[in-house]
Amino acid sequence: MTDQGTILKRYVRAEPVYRRDVIKPDGRNLSLYGYAPHKASEIAGDALDQLTGAHLRYHPLRGTWSIYAAARNQRTFKPSQAENPLAPSQTGKPLTEIPFSDFELCVFDNRFPSLSADAHEGEVTGLTTAPAKGACEVIVYTPDATGSLADLNQAQRRLLVEAWIDRYENLFAKGCAFVLPFENRGEAVGVTLSHPHGQIYGFPFIPDPQARALAAFEAGYDLAGKLTDWKNRYGVLEAGGLMAYAPPFARFPYEVWISAFARHSGPWSYSETESDGFAYLLGEVTRRYDALFGAETPYMLSLHAAPYGQDGAFQFSAQFYPLLRGPGRVKYLASVEQATGVFTVDVMPEAAAQALRGVK
């Protein structure tokens, strides 16, 4: 790598994307992504300490793993704009998480990780435990303190897509079995930092929902092949060979997925046109949610790509789970959903698709 950074070379682009890798003063990794080489000098200041110490415990009745990370209870909680840890740093003031005065997009190791490379096994008598190996990263979409995927311009969303793809490659290379980029939006979801950002978890195992999805794809389920049949009733809009749609088996009211009509195990195999379409739909789905409900819509967004080494049968989708069933009406995941995993859906997917289709 040169001082100007590494040029990402997934496929030929009209303009290159650069990545500059930096070791933060506290030893954590930070990568700056942009359409121009990032040349700004690092701002000096006191380092922030990373708080680690998580481990995994196995649930013998559910057959699943949970992460126990007590240090996360100390994470930053609803800071003022003056104390925003995701803003660019300013000379003469306490360092934020990003020790530069400006950037286009930034990824760094989470200060309060659930998963980390140096995790050790917890010692709990009578339980099956394991080290919480893996990675937890924060991805900051923009230096601006407010906004959303809808407020980013198309070039910014395309940069985000390229950064996601690069993080998939990076975390798979570090030994992660499954990588999940995601975004939590809104206080109803539990968001404590309002700056536009997401996170990326690299797991040491394949979580149960993704393992089940992999098994379904390997057994012949063809998500891409369903889209043409679904688009009239469940489609919301199309762009660049992809469709945003309310899946007929949705669990959340107004749940929307984004998938390509061609079969892709992850966004890393998208063409330039498909990547453009994906970026556009991410913003347009968010915009339509806000317009439909007349306010910022709280949601959970997650990217479901193939686990490491499982390219082939697996078919990629980005999935939005909004937490509203109507304007000002929160969809709570109450006792039945939490106890059984069986969801009660208040809005029919075909009605949700029609409502979102009609948003201007």
The answer to whether position 181 is within a domain reads yes
The answer to whether position 223 is within a domain reads yes
Q: Are residues 309 and 337 in the same domain?
A: yes
Q: Which of 205, 224, 250 is the last residue of a domain?
A: 205
What pLDDT score was predicted for residue 282?
Answer: 98
Q: Are residues 231 and 295 in the same domain?
A: yes
Q: Are residues 200 and 323 in the same domain?
A: no
Query: Is residue 106 pLDDT above 50, yes or no?
Result: yes
State the average pLDDT over residues 316-339.
94
CATH number at residue 20: 3.30.428.10
Q: Are residues 103 and 137 in the same domain?
A: yes
Q: CA 165 to CA 267: how far, in whole Å? A: 7
Q: Which of 157, 188, 205 is the last residue of a domain?
A: 205
Domain extent, residue 127, equals 6-205
Report pTM: 0.95
Give the pLDDT confidence of 256-299 residue by residue, as tens digits. Answer: 999 999 999 999 999 999 999 999 999 999 999 999 999 999 99
The answer to whether position 146 is within a domain reads yes
What pLDDT score was predicted for residue 53?
Answer: 83
Q: Give catalytic residues, as residue numbers.
A: 197
The answer to whether position 55 is within a domain reads yes
What pLDDT score was predicted for residue 293?
Answer: 96
The answer to whether position 1 is within a domain reads no
Q: Are residues 58 and 92 in the same domain?
A: yes
The answer to whether position 214 is within a domain reads yes
Q: Are residues 166 and 298 in the same domain?
A: no
Q: Are residues 174 and 227 in the same domain?
A: no
Q: Are residues 28 and 160 in the same domain?
A: yes
Q: Are residues 63 and 118 in the same domain?
A: yes
Q: Which of 205, 220, 244 is the last residue of a domain?
A: 205
Give the pLDDT confidence of 206-238 residue by residue, as tens digits. Answer: 999 999 999 999 999 999 999 999 999 999 999
DSSP per-residue codes, 127-196: S-EEE--SEEEEEE--SSSS--TTTS-HHHHHHHHHHHHHHHHHHHHTT-SEEEEEEEESGGGT----SS
Q: Are residues 201 and 61 in the same domain?
A: yes
Q: Are residues 180 and 266 in the same domain?
A: no
Q: Are residues 173 and 268 in the same domain?
A: no
Is residue 262 within 8 A of residue 274, CB to CB? The reply is yes
What token pair was written down for 200?
Answer: 């990326």
Domain count, the chain: 2
